[in-house]
Amino acid sequence: MAEKKNRLSNLTIVIPTYNRQFYLNKLLNTLPVDINIIVSDNGMFLTDEFKAKFINVKFILQDLVIDALQNWNKCIKAVNTDWFMIPSDDDLYYEKSFDIIEKYINQYQNADLLIFGHNVINENDDLISEWRPKKLLEMAPPSGFNILKYGVEARFPSMLFKTSKVQQLGYIDESYKLTAGDSKLIQMIALTGKVVFIPEIIGAYRTWPNNSTVLTLGTAGWLAEIDRWQNDIEYYIKNQIPLSPVRNFKKIRDEVYGRNLVGSIINKKAKSNFRDVLFFLKNVRFPWHASFITKLKILKALLLK
């Protein structure tokens, strides 16, 4: 594991894992030796020899395989520090990542969520792209939601969560199966807590060809969960934040749906014939309240090869 001079005793790295020992090994070797680390071994695929190498890691053993979001929450509920991060078991960090993290944790101790930038890498660690906030922003509630209302571009390896805020909001909604459970939590934090956007890259988020997102994007079930996510957020605002300045939720809901519909059509066309695409469209709705640009993108995705 990477060496670290300044201890981050108020931070825990929680890692839900499922049968990825090779990549988990790479991740653990990018973490400081004196940081709190919890790994939830879903299905108990990690060998005893592997676990013996990481004596500073707390391993939670789960003999029966549980759903991914259940495993995420199992990790989070074991945290007893002020802050936590929850990378996937195949993500990575960099040499200076935790110096940057320590700087901003100390600077924004009263924040509820710190959002950094991330690189996107493939299965061979090759750089595909990057994302980072455009500038340093400190947003009091519910202003952070205005930046995140159409979707969350940040990824878990580059986000720091205040543990007490996540506990207060009831953790990640495990009833979501395809998408949006994590985005729902992040938006709820932005509505009720202080969010800081920091334009520095601290982690690498790994993507895979034919991953679960690719396989389910372009299905009516995916888009149904997008709608449900938006309904949940609208209900939360109306019942928990009655004085919220967030208005015209029809437009927000349809813009989020429309942006996801564009990706769904593109994904569907790449894997199916045009008849299947038309059948798919008959089983989803058209987002009439989305922006003109998004509706134009939907038509473009449908008509162009």
CATH of residue 100's domain is 3.90.550.10
Q: Tell me the whole-structure pTM to 2 decimals.
A: 0.92
- Residue 56 belongs to some domain of the structure: yes
Q: How many helices, marked H, and strands, marked E, lie in the chain?
A: 12, 10
Domain co-membership, 243 together with 189: no
Residue where a domain stops, chosen among 189, 209, 229: 209
Q: What are phi and psi of 202, to 5 degrees?
A: -120, -15
Residue where a domain stops, chosen among 148, 174, 209: 209
Number of structural domains (the chain) is 2
Mapped onto helix, strand or coil, the DSSP state of residue 284 is: coil
pLDDT at 247: 79
* CB-neighbour burial class of residue 187 (10 A; exposed 0-12, middle 13-18, buried 19+): buried
């473009």: which residue's tokens? 300
In tens digits, the chain (305 residues) has pLDDT values of 555 445 699 999 999 999 999 999 999 999 998 899 999 999 999 999 999 999 999 999 999 999 999 999 999 999 999 999 999 999 999 999 999 999 999 999 999 999 999 999 999 999 999 999 999 999 999 999 999 999 999 999 999 999 999 999 999 999 998 788 999 999 999 999 999 999 999 999 999 886 666 566 667 888 999 999 999 999 999 988 877 778 789 999 999 999 999 988 988 888 778 888 888 888 899 999 999 999 999 999 988 76
Domain co-membership, 110 together with 97: yes
- Residue 3 belongs to some domain of the structure: no
Domain co-membership, 205 together with 222: no
Residue 252 in contact with residue 149, Cβ under 8 Å?
yes
Domain co-membership, 177 together with 247: no
Domain co-membership, 139 together with 282: no
Domain co-membership, 130 together with 263: no
Residue 2 in contact with residue 33, Cβ under 8 Å?
yes
d(C-alpha 19, C-alpha 48), whole Å: 14
Residue where a domain stops, chosen among 161, 185, 209: 209
Domain co-membership, 68 together with 157: yes
Show the domain range for 187.
11-209
| Residue type at 76 in one-letter notation | I
pLDDT at 1: 59
Residue 184 in contact with residue 286, Cβ under 8 Å?
no
